[in-house]
């Protein structure tokens, strides 16, 4: 009889040992339970929105930004037009000044040539009055020619400005 009970005792001891190992494994798992609960806790990082709410928000954003963009574009166009007009004015002024410089260069050459001619007239003794009158008339002719050229350049400049202002509108 001792023999059958010995098998039963050894089976009981092995079951008890197996149960102790299971308890220790479960105990180590349960000791880490608060950390696991925190790790496994779900956090809602992103909220899902229905597509209708999303499209409504996009529409509101677009309607609020469109006037601002249009305003900024209009300001940029106005500024670019202003810069273009300024560029045209500077080009016209440059042409006007170049015309003045070329006229003053021609005037200096013409004055040198005429001075030699006047000396011959004065040397001939035809009268200093006629020589003075001739000199005055030539100077007046040069002034009037210069004025006509200047007015022509100014008229061209005004035409450009008029075309630009009509094109801007």
pLDDT in tens, 70-96: 999 999 999 998 998 888 888 888 888
Average pLDDT, the chain: 80
pLDDT tens for residues 22-37? 988 888 878 877 777 7
Beta-carbon contacts of 92 under 8 Å, excluding residues fewer than 6 positions away, are 153, 156, 157, 160
pLDDT over threshold 60, residue 53:
yes
Tell me if the pTM is above 0.75: no
Of 44-58, 103-117, 134-148, the one with minimum mean pLDDT is 103-117
The residue ranking higher by pLDDT, 111 or 17, is 17
pLDDT score of 18: 94
Tell me the C-alpha distance between 167 and 169, whole Å: 5
pLDDT score of 121: 46
* Three-state DSSP state, 138: helix
C-alpha dihedral (24, 29, 30, 35), degrees to nearest 10: 150
Using pLDDT thresholds of 50, 70 and 90, give the confidence band for residue 110: low
Q: What is the residue whose two structure tokens read 């008339």?
A: 137
């Amino acid at each position: 009889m001792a023999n059958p009970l010995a098998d039963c005792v050894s089976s009981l001891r092995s079951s008890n040992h197996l149960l102790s190992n299971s308890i220790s494994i479960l105990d180590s798992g349960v000791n880490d339970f608060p950390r696991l609960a925190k790790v496994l806790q779900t956090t809602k990082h992103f909220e899902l929105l229905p597509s209708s709410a999303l499209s409504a928000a996009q529409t509101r954003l677009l309607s609020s930004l469109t006037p601002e963009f249009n305003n900024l574009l209009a300001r940029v166009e106005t500024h670019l037009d202003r810069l273009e007009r300024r560029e045209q004015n500077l080009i016209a002024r440059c042409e006007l000044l170049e015309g003045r410089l070329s006229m003053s260069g021609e005037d200096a050459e013409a004055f040198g040539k005429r001075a030699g001619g006047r000396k011959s007239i004065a040397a001939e003794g035809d009268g200093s009055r006629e020589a003075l009158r001739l000199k005055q008339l030539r100077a007046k002719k040069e002034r009037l020619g210069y004025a006509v050229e200047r007015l022509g350049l100014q008229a061209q400049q005004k035409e450009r400005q008029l075309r630009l202002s009509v094109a801007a509108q």
